A and B are shown apart, each in its own frame.
Chain A
């Protein structure tokens, strides 16, 4: 571990938005994440890179409560309130439930797009947008005034978001009928609908063409600048990572092997070796257990 970005908790005047400290995740004998440290400062665009099976998606799954790491802590600080995402005793650890993680302001997309395939693009976003409202079954059945008001407000918000990602034209199309690049953007819109402070993008550029990649880059910049949302992304496209990320963390075999500015990381001999050395391994194993999506 060269520079892991691990700073003592009391040193910084304002705590980072996200602090991952010494997280270890095991599946039986397989260590997917090994003593991973990572901090994400508010307002940053940060990238996690690494060969297949390095544990990148596992890290996201730990952050969003899908997996519970055996060791370490994850802290999310927003509006001066710090929330522990992993709690409990050493014996019995618990992650915050995925929907609670979403509620405190962490949204994500998936490596293998997971939209609600049989619903329209509009409904896909609306479902996420409505989770912010408190409408219950009684309000919905009786059409109580505030339920109706919430519904109208959500409709507007949904339209806004579809506009924002440039999908205003396909609102009524089925999610499954959209092209791959459009589905990626729709998934981002759905993630944005939960009103997050931190957006986790899992390989947003995978399977997109060069034009879509450029649009995606712009979109991520706009999300960061206009919406004031911190972005943490996993990406294999080096050009995209180098141009967009302020900081890059490199994972290999579940360990952080480098952390720093893109240019700096790119020249790090450890990183170069990890990538060159891993080329044939990747083919041989076809992606490891630990990085099999979610």
Chain B
């Protein structure tokens, strides 16, 4: 019994269980669960115990549990010896050195060069399956993620209608290549459509953003979500324009070059498309990197950190938010042109709402605000499922579950993402200490009435 405020309070003393044993129990449960999840036998409609039998009445279970015990032992050892702090002490000097080296311009340029070379050479050595994954999944989503990073990572706006612009870009391509039931009367090369789609999406972004960017956080997310629905319903219902659920009526032609005596035609072959995507990505990344370290990028950061102070310092907040929104939208449109032309066939079902959330999760996974992190995140999360599939590591239908698990673990242990931007990391830390806002999504502590 202890005394609180003069009143006797009964404190329930729990019997002390060694925390190490609790952790061991946790690891064992995790091991058993993983065994259950990785089992390949399927139950039937009448007998669900088949799965349980296969999972737990086999020697494999023992291996899983032994593995769990081993992991537990290692972590306990790590804790007891304080290996973590020892290692971080030992490597402090090296890490500091690494930071000064990695800050150097030459180092950065060399790293970029190495990345570019790797992106150009390595895919050539891969099987055709992986090449197709690289183009249809990795390249498209990396481009999308880089664009969404401008909106979410830099200016801190939650945009859940991002894929609507992707659809607008793809359908713009379909329209100008005469693949829709309604045609302009002429056909353009996808290369010519690129700038058109960018401008169309820019305008669409402005139209959506102008009335809605006064909203904050959750409200903006809902509005953009609604916008996506509108676009999709339009594509489905306006049969005589868009072909409705059936999608485009004629295949969208591939890219081709026919000027100055050079004739080149992109085909179903993956590698030429890979180079095209990488070229576009390089241009976009180059321009965005400059944008980040310019007046515009700084203004976005200011708005994200303290909108009231930014406005008081003369930053036109709505204008800059609108700018971020439409730059993101046009990047999405650009990706849409490439995607539409690459696949040749699109329908409204190619652009589900969940895709916006998927891209958002790539951005968060990679590290909001850092271009390189976002690229890494999107590339990893789109390539990994293909590896799972090709190597038969887990069951086909389980792949999304595993990707989800990776996301959950990542957010628990490294919320700042794979390769976070330095600014963003500092903001997260300050926000945890309650000093500042991590984004423009949450209400400023004493914001406008």
Contact = CB atoms under 8 A, between A and B. Distances in A.
Interface of A: 27, 64, 66-67, 97-99, 102-103, 107-108, 110, 112, 114-119, 123, 126-128, 130-133, 135-137, 140-143, 147, 150-151, 154, 174, 176, 190-191, 193-194, 292-294
A67 B315 CA distance: 18
A140 B314 contact: no
A120 B323 CA distance: 24
Interface residues on B, range: 35 or more
A27, A64, A126, A294, most chain B CB atoms within 10 A? A294
Interface string B276-305: 000000000001101100111111011001
Contacts of B290: 140-143
Contact of B315 (A131, A137, A150, A294): A131
A118 B436 contact: yes
Nearest to B433: A176
A140 B296 contact: yes
B312 A117 contact: no
A67 B308 CA distance: 12
Contacts of B312: 64, 98-99, 102, 107-108, 110, 114
30 contacts: A27-B449, A66-B308, A98-B311, A99-B311, A102-B314, A107-B313, A108-B312, A110-B309, A112-B446, A114-B306, A115-B306, A116-B309, A117-B427, A117-B435, A118-B305, A119-B302, A127-B299, A127-B302, A128-B314, A130-B299, A137-B296, A140-B294, A140-B295, A141-B287, A142-B290, A150-B295, A176-B430, A193-B313, A194-B313, A294-B308
A21 to B, nearest CB: 23
Count chain A CB atoms within 10 A of each CB in B287, B288, B327 and give the residue with the most.
B287
A133 B314 CA distance: 11
B20 to A, nearest CB: 38
A67 B291 contact: no
B327 A137 contact: yes
B317 interface: yes
A180 to B, nearest CB: 13
Given A66-B448, A118-B426, A128-B314, A141 B302 contact: no
Contacts of B295: 130, 133, 135, 140, 147, 150-151, 154
A110 B447 CA distance: 12
B238 interface: no
B404 interface: no
B225 to A, nearest CB: 26
The residue in A108, A115, A128 that gathers the most chain B C-beta atoms within 10 A of its C-beta is: A128
Nearest to A293: B446
A122 to B, nearest CB: 11
A64 B314 CA distance: 11
A114 B309 contact: yes
A102 B426 contact: no
Interface string B308-332: 1111111111000001000100000
A140 B313 CA distance: 20
Q: Which of B295, B296, B435 has the most CB of A within 10 A?
A: B295
B448 A102 contact: no
A118 B309 contact: no
Given A116-B305, A117-B436, A141-B287, A126 B298 contact: yes
Of B309, B317, B446, most buried by chain A (CB within 10 Å of CB) is: B309
A116 B302 contact: yes
Contacts of B323: 137
A138 to B, nearest CB: 9
Contacts of A117: 305-306, 426-427, 430, 435-436
Contacts of A112: 446
Contacts of A135: 294-296
A240 to B, nearest CB: 23
A99 B316 contact: yes
B108 interface: no
The 10 A-B residue pairs whose C-beta atoms are closest, nearest first, are: A140-B294, A131-B314, A102-B314, A98-B311, A128-B313, A117-B436, A114-B309, A118-B426, A141-B287, A118-B427
A114 B314 contact: no
A130 B295 CA distance: 7
Residue among A123, A131, A135, A147 having the largest count of chain B Cβ atoms under 10 Å = A131
A66 to B, nearest CB: 6
A190 B298 CA distance: 14
